[in-house]
Amino acid sequence: MERSKKVKFITGLVITAVVLIMAVWGMIKTPYDPYTMDTSAKFAGVSFRHVFGCDQFGRDIFSRVLVGVRETMFISACVVFIGAFLGTVIGTVTGYFGGWLDEFLMRINDALLAFPSVLLALVVIGLFGSGKYQLIVALGIAFIPSFARIVRGEVLKIRNLDYINAVKLYGASNFRILVVHILPNLKTVLLSSIIIGFNNAVLAEAGMSYLGMGVAPPNPSLGRMLSEAQTYIFSSPLAAVFPGIVIAFMILGFSLLGDTVGK
């Protein structure tokens, strides 16, 4: 690796590690209870007791951010898993077998791929209503097309290699060829797509919850903390700044990793 790439990779790794630590911290115990309101601490500024200050109900923003990071990471992981899993299945089957099914599915896939994931997710939310699990399904579906396209391309490439033909000559079944010879070769391409997927999932989740289409209140979510704080932006701008910085921080980590891993 050249030097600048190394710097990017290590920075990305460190940031992602910090994000994961925050998520785990949010899972175990936060400094304050993220739901307890404290009218005396309403819009409290940054202090040693409240490192990010307090929100309009006097809840500790740092604690809420930790839980928000946990939620965002959980939703993103589910979304990427759905997208990667179903995308890999569709991409492998269409790429390997080809034929009319491939034609048909890829037409739909390309039509969907032209649409930004937030838009697709809004359609699904429009159908099923909003909420944490609806959001996971909505974004998960929205993430399938890009994985399907990438995996299909890779499978096409591998399928036409000489050694696959040789294995076929030996009488290996399609199933065996897929599982033993093709799937393991998708590792590299999947790894980088998954990291980029996380980058996009965090962005989409934050956007959707900013629009009020995600985790329901009073549960903390980074996007909604931003939109709530925006109401009070004249009086206490910092309440909006911290959750926003954390979102950007998460995306930065994944984008740095995505830029360097597998390329």
Partner 1 sequence: MKYVLKKVTTMLITLFVVSVLVFFSFSLIPGNPALSKLGTEATPERLAALEHEMGLDKPVVERFGEWFVGVLKGDFGRSYSYNQSVTSLLKEKIATTLILSVMAIVICVVISLPLGIFMARKSDSKLDIALSAVNQIIMSIPSFFSGIILTLIFGITLKLFTPGAYVPYHSDFLKCIGYMFFPALAIALPKISMVSKLLKDTVIKEAGKEYVRTAYSRGNATKAVFYRHVLGNALIPVITFLGMTFADIIAGSIIVEQVFSVPGLGRILLTSISGRDYPVIEAIIRLLAFFVVLSNLIVDLLYHKFDPRIHV
Q: Which residues bind partner 1 (CB under 8 A)?
A: 4, 8, 107-108, 110-111, 114-116, 118-119, 122-123, 125-127, 130, 203, 206-207, 210-213, 223, 226-227, 230, 233-234, 237, 240-241, 244, 247-249, 251-252, 255-256
Q: How far is the CB of 243 from partner 1 (least distance, A)?
A: 8
First-residue to last-residue Cα distance in the chain: 10
* CB nearer to partner 1: pick between 96 and 242: 242
Q: How far is CA 224 from the centre of its chain?
A: 17
**Beta carbon nearer to partner 1, 139 or 247:** 247
CB of 250 to partner 1, least distance (A): 8
Place of tokens 């980074």: 222
Shortest separation between residue 45's beta carbon and partner 1, angstroms: 16
Task: Report how far residue 151's alpha carbon sits from residue 135's, in angstroms, rounded to the nearest whole number.
Answer: 24
The residue to which tokens 């077998």 are assigned: 97
Query: What is the maximum alpha-carbon separation in the chain?
Result: 77
User: From the CB of 11, what's the least distance to partner 1, in Å?
Assistant: 9
Q: How far is the CB of 4 from partner 1 (least distance, A)?
A: 8
Q: Which is nearer to partner 1, 177 or 211 (CB)?
A: 211
86-90: long-range contacts (C-beta < 8 A, 24 or more apart)? 86/140, 86/144, 86/147, 86/148, 87/143, 87/144, 87/145, 87/146, 87/147, 87/148, 87/149, 87/150, 87/151, 88/147, 88/148, 88/151, 88/186, 88/190, 90/144, 90/148, 90/151, 90/152
Task: Report the nearest approach of partner 1 to the CB of residue 183 (Å).
Answer: 28
Check if the beta carbon of residue 220 is closer than 8 Å to that of residue 65: yes
Q: Which is nearer to partner 1, 30 or 236 (CB)?
A: 236
Measured from the CB atom, is 197 or 207 closer to partner 1? 207
Nearer to partner 1, 96 or 143 (CB): 143
- The least distance separating partner 1 from the CB of residue 68, rounded to whole angstroms, comes to 14
CA dist., res. 214 & res. 198, Å (int): 17
The SS3 call for residue 233 is coil
Name residues whose C-beta falls within 8 Å of residue 256's C-beta, 6 or more positions apart in sequence: 8, 9, 11, 12, 15
Pick the closer one to partner 1 by CB: 25 or 249. 249
